[in-house]
């Protein structure tokens, strides 16, 4: 557990440098539990998520970084690769493609990229994926914008 704590404290120090703060803020939920973190992702520009903030819970196993963390959206997100009710995220680096080279910040940045680049062939939200599969980009963007307005925290410009 000591090596996990050292690694996470280094990651926290990097996160506090604020290099990616315009996209992601990241910190432990409390000083008492280094294995539970919370991230806030800004919606990618040029997407219907723009101007919104999305919270993600991060549960870190004691075997981190050998085993991946579990990241779950707290904010309901309409996206083909996010389960709308549970917040589960379908992303290969969270499962089979995990590597200890990934950090919590780089993982959150990968999720940020996923928001702008959905993969409709492995959906957790079939309605959103079907719109993309049918080529209905206007319908997809409208649906995403609607749910983003309903559920996400709006950021002030």
CA distance 43 to 23: 8
**Given 78, 90, 108, 126, the catalytic residue:** 90
Within 43-136, residue ranges assigned H as helices are: 104-116, 126-133
Q: What's the gap between Cα 105 and its chain centre? A: 10
CA distance 27 to 19: 14
Q: Which helix (H) or strand (E) holds 59?
A: strand 52-59
CA distance 28 to 8: 9
Q: What's the gap between Cα 85 and its chain centre? A: 15
Is 134 an annotated catalytic residue?
no
User: Which of 85, 107, 118, 113 minimizes the C-alpha distance to 26?
Assistant: 107
* Residues classed as catalytic: 90
């Amino acid at each position: 557990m000591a090596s996990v704590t050292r690694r996470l404290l280094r990651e926290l120090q990097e996160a506090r440098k604020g290099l990616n703060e315009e996209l992601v803020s990241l910190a432990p939920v409390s000083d008492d539990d280094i294995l539970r973190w919370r991230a806030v992702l800004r919606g990618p520009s040029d997407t219907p998520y723009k101007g919104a903030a999305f919270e993600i819970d991060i549960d870190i196993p004691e075997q981190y970084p050998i085993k991946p963390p579990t990241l779950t959206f707290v904010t309901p997100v309409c996206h083909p690769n996010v389960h709308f009710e549970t917040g589960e995220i379908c992303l290969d680096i969270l499962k089979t493609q995990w590597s200890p080279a990934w950090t919590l910040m780089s993982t959150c940045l990968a999720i940020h990229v996923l928001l702008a680049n959905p993969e409709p062939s492995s959906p957790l939200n079939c309605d959103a994926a079907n719109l993309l599969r049918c080529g209905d980009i206007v319908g997809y963007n409208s649906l995403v914008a609607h749910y983003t307005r309903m559920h996400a925290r709006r950021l002030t410009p």
